[in-house]
Amino acid sequence: MITLLKGAPAGAALREKASAIIEALKEKGVTPGLAIVRVGEEAGDLSYEKAIYKRCGAMGIEVRTYAFCGPTDEELQAQIRALNADPSVHGILMMRPLPKGLDEASARELIAPEKDVDGCGSASLAGVFTGSGTGFCPCTAQAAVEILDQCGVEIAGKKAAVIGRSLVIGRPAAMLLLHRNATVTLCHSRTADLREAVRGADIVIAATGRPESLDSSFFKSGQTVIDVGASWSEAKGKICGDVDMDSLIAADGNGGLDINVTPVPGGVGAVTTSVLALHTAEAAARQNP
């Protein structure tokens, strides 16, 4: 049986925390402000941006987008510096990855650590990797673990496989699980016997960025699968996750596949925006003690 782990409960719990902080800030006359920096019009970025406006805007966070088409590094970096200096902006989210030809490393390091609500700079990532608790964790990586907690999935002592080694999701997600005493295998494009590595895990976080690239042969009964993929599928004409749900459904019908998996949409994405709202509220509170 395939059980869908929807993100709504975890998202609601996070928004409740954020709302309490936002109300306290408004009593001080402070409105949390979030700036989105986007280059181009990639489908996944636009979908995420739309969700941010809907979720954060409804909570009383002022969201503004700074969109570019073919900027130079200097133009992009100038905008980030301006946002760092703007006291009405408490959080900065830069959509990543940036298009080829732009210096993403320099851009993300320019974001002031206290406004780095998506944890993309070295100062924030250092907190994630050391477990110090300083800075903010990348939102999607945190969202994956929030769903595990909300669904009562035991992490300590379990085997976990994270597919994808980016600094956006894969590596920080692996660190979060490691800090929770899971035994983690970090898989990537060069991993030998990827199916074997994934099938041997109790918990799987899929972050390949390739739509429906993981069919039922990668999974076994008893696993919990967190699908963080959100890529455009030309074949289906819509955003799809990394997990081929049609293949899972077929395998379930043929012989039974007892597995817990997050849907796309309605899974991690719904929680990611709530994590972002909480981080923005917390950043505003820190900047206005």
Residues 261 and 179 reside in one and the same domain: yes
Check: CB of residue 118 under 8 Å from CB of residue 138.
yes
Is pLDDT larger for residue 183 or for residue 135?
A: 183
Residue 108 CA to residue 167 CA, distance in Å, equals 12
pLDDT score at 99:
93
The 3-state DSSP class for residue 23 equals: helix
In a domain, 275, yes or no: no
State pTM to two decimals. 0.93
The number of distinct structural domains making up the chain is 2
Task: Tell me 99's DSSP state.
Answer: P
pLDDT, tens only, 64-100: 999 999 999 999 999 999 999 999 999 999 999 999 9
The CATH number assigned to the domain holding 77 equals 3.40.50.10860
- Which of the four pLDDT bands, split at 50, 70 and 90, describes residue 239? confident
Parent domain of 50: 29-114
Does residue 4 form part of some domain?
no
Q: Which residues of 131-146 are buried (b: 16+ CB within 10 A; e: fewer)?
A: eeeebbbbbbbbbbbb
Q: pLDDT for 21-50, tens place per residue?
A: 999 999 999 999 999 999 999 888 898 899
